């Protein structure tokens, strides 16, 4: 189906059925019996009412018989955005959750990350994490790799091959107690090489992100150099902030001339409207104000925060301060690579705050869904392109079917669309995510072999 209309847009696919998404004004909007057309470039060309199909087909030059009709238990939702995931930690996800952060890094994380010097190990782990997250509905991932440039480039290549939208960061760190680190000069030179080589590939949906690991493992000179690289190349930045109390204390000792942890990043030009900082459990109101002013975002990683006993992010306070907020799995501090898990853990951790203070306004499931989709796109500065179903955005979408044979969810007669949707968020899994699209390309089911 490739006919042209008078605006010369070629419609590649048309879908009819229910579409569930967030908008700026509604955490969840359910569009029933809706028709959505995707053009050859993978962008949403039109959205209309099912009753208007004949007029739409004439206007856009497609045959009504070419329309793909969704089933009764099916709907489309936007692809999920994992704003913080360590691809290099995927091999031990689901294990090693018995130590606090700084000990956990030295005991489990650094020895595994050091292995990515070996490109065949990198190939195996990175292929598996990209496939696993795609199957679970992550259409966009903001990845930490390791300090190794070639393995980090390989992650970009693999994301491109399987069609995942990705920001990929070569990790930078020039001091810690362990033997897994670079000199400041290596870190800077290799970051420049990584950016140059990744951009040279011209992958349509894979971009580099400047990645100081965190202030604990980076010298002031390294942080400054990375801030400058990001500015000179107009790049995204990612790091960690205020995840644990102990870490906040260490940063105070390392950077005694700075007002706060946030101030350390701000003074090194690392807080911009393309920055995403993971965790932020212990940020003060004053620090949140700096986030809002700079346009920097927070990635809320609730599974990790609980699994490493790090803390609880007060998401309500972050939202009230109008700081951009997305969700992250933070594999492997978070044990699950699934963004559905991140939604559930975000709800759980918010409920814990309500248990502690009954006046605390618990996050709703609709709000958690928004964080996993549109919120994530805002946090990564990609909301002009992805995050919901708006004409002109890329078609990044999950086709969800709650009635798959032997699936994890039972649907009963007469259940309302919002109930079916809530069941998917709380009970669904990858068996229900029957198709995944990134920029109009179907990437799940995964290619055979």
DSSP for 176-196, written as a single string = -SSS----HHHHHHHHHHHHH
DSSP secondary structure code for residue 9 in this structure: P
Find the binding residues for ligand GUN in span 299-318 (CB under 6 A). 304
Q: Which does 214 bind (CB under 5 to 8 A by kind): ligand GUN, Zn ion, none?
A: ligand GUN
Tell me the closest approach of the beta carbon of residue 240 to ligand GUN, in angstroms: 4
Establish if 190 lies at the interface with ligand GUN (CB under 6 A).
Answer: no
Tokens of 242: 């205020």
Q: Which residue stretch of 101-109, 129-137, 199-207, 225-233 sits at the interface with ligand GUN (rule: CB under 6 A)?
A: 101-109
To Zn ion, the closest distance from the beta carbon of 278 in angstroms equals 5
| Interface with ligand GUN, residue 344, by CB under 6 A | no
**What is the distance between the alpha carbons of residues 388 and 373, in angstroms, rounded to a whole number?**
7
Residue nearest to Zn ion (CB): 330
| Euclidean distance between CA atoms 342 and 154, whole angstroms | 26
Interatomic CA distance for residues 89 and 50, integer angstroms:
45
Residue of 109, 184, 373, 388 interacting with ligand GUN (CB under 6 A): 109
Nearer to ligand GUN, 78 or 334 (CB): 334
Q: Are strands 236-241 and 275-279 parallel, antiparallel or unpaired?
A: parallel
Between 97 and 353, name the residue whose CB sits nearer to ligand GUN: 97
Q: Which does residue 187 touch among Zn ion, ligand GUN, none (CB within 5 to 8 A, set by kind)?
A: none
Q: Which of 174, 190, 330, 383 binds ligand GUN (CB under 6 A)?
A: 330
> What are the distances in angstroms from CA 266 to CA 127, 220, 225, 257, 324?
35, 12, 13, 13, 16
Is residue 296 within 8 A of residue 275, CB to CB? The reply is yes
What single string gives the DSSP state of each residue in 407-434? Answer: -S----TT--HHHHHHHHHHH--GGGEE
For ligand GUN, give the closer residue by CB, 36 or 248. Answer: 248
HEC sequence for 342-387: HHHHHHHHHHHHHHHCCCCCCCCHHHHHHHHHHHHHHHCCCCCCCC
| C-alpha separations of 210 from 8, 157, 224, 340 in Å | 39, 17, 12, 27
* CB of 240 vs Zn ion, minimal distance in Å: 5
Closest approach, Cβ 91 to ligand GUN, in A, equals 13
Q: Select from 139, 136, 156, 137 the least CA-distant residue to 87.
A: 156
Give Cα 429 distance to the centre of its chain. Answer: 17
Nearer to Zn ion (CB atom), residue 77 or residue 278: 278
86 touching ligand GUN, by CB under 6 A: yes
| Joined tokens for residue 239 | 């790091």
In the shown chain, the binding pattern of residues 211 to 230 toward ligand GUN, with x for contact by CB under 6 A and - for none, equals: --xx----------------
State the residues that interact with Zn ion by CB under 5 A.
278, 330
The answer to whether 333 contacts ligand GUN (rule: CB under 6 A) is yes
Size of the site for ligand GUN (CB under 6 A): 11
How far apart (Å, rounded) are the C-alpha atoms in residues 391 and 195? 31
Shortest distance in whole angstroms from residue 86 CB to ligand GUN: 5
If one asks whether residue 345 binds ligand GUN (CB under 6 A), the answer comes out as no
Residue 126 CB, nearest distance to ligand GUN (Å)? 16
Q: Quick one: 43 or 170, whose CB is closer to Zn ion?
A: 170
218 or 386: CB nearest ligand GUN: 218
Residues that bind ligand GUN in the complex, under the rule CB under 6 A: 86, 101, 105, 109, 213-214, 240, 243, 304, 330, 333
């Amino acid at each position: 189906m490739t006919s042209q209309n008078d605006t010369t847009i070629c419609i590649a696919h048309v879908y009819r059925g229910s579409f569930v998404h967030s908008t700026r004004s509604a955490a969840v909007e359910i569009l029933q019996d809706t028709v959505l057309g995707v053009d050859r470039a993978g962008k949403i060309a039109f959205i209309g009412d099912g009753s208007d199909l004949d007029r739409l087909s004439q206007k856009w030059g497609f045959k009504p018989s070419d329309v793909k009709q969704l089933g009764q238990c099916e709907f489309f939702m936007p692809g999920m955005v994992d704003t913080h995931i360590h691809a290099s930690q995927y091999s031990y996800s689901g294990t090693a959750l018995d130590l606090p952060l700084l000990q956990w890094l030295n005991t489990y994380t650094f020895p595994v990350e050091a292995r990515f010097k070996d490109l065949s190990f990198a190939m195996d782990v990175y292929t598996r994490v990209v496939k696993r997250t795609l199957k679970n509905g992550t259409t966009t991932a903001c990845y930490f790799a390791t300090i190794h440039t070639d393995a980090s480039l390989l992650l970009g290549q693999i994301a491109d091959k399987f069609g995942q939208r990705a920001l990929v960061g070569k990790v930078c760190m020039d001091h810690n107690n362990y033997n897994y680190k670079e000199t400041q000069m290596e870190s800077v030179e290799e970051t420049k090489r990584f950016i140059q080589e990744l951009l040279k590939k011209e992958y349509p949906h894979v971009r580099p992100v400047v990645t100081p690991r965190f202030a604990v493992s980076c010298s002031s000179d390294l942080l400054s150099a990375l801030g400058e690289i990001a500015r000179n190349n107009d790049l995204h930045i990612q790091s960690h902030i205020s995840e644990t109390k102990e870490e906040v204390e260490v940063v105070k000792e390392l950077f005694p001339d700075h007002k706060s942890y946030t101030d350390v990043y701000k003074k090194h030009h690392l807080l911009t409207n393309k920055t995403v900082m993971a965790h932020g459990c212990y940020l003060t109101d004053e620090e949140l104000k700096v986030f809002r002013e700079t346009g920097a975002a927070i990635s809320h990683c609730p599974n990790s925060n609980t699994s490493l006993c790090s803390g609880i992010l007060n998401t309500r306070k972050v939202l009230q301060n109008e700081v951009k907020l997305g969700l992250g799995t933070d594999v492997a501090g978070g044990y699950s690579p699934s963004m559905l898990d991140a939604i559930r853990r975000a709800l759980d951790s918010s409920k814990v705050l309500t248990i502690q203070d009954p006046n605390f306004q618990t996050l709703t499931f609709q709000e958690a869904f928004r964080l996993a989709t549109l919120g994530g796109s805002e946090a990564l500065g990609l909301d002009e392109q992805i995050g919901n179903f708006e004409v002109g955005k890329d078609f990044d979408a999950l086709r969800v079917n709650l009635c798959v044979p032997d699936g994890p969810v039972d649907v009963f007669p007469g259940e309302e669309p919002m109930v079916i949707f809530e069941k998917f968020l709380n009970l669904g899994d990858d068996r229900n995510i029957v198709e995944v699209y990134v920029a109009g390309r179907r990437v799940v089911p995964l290619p055979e072999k």
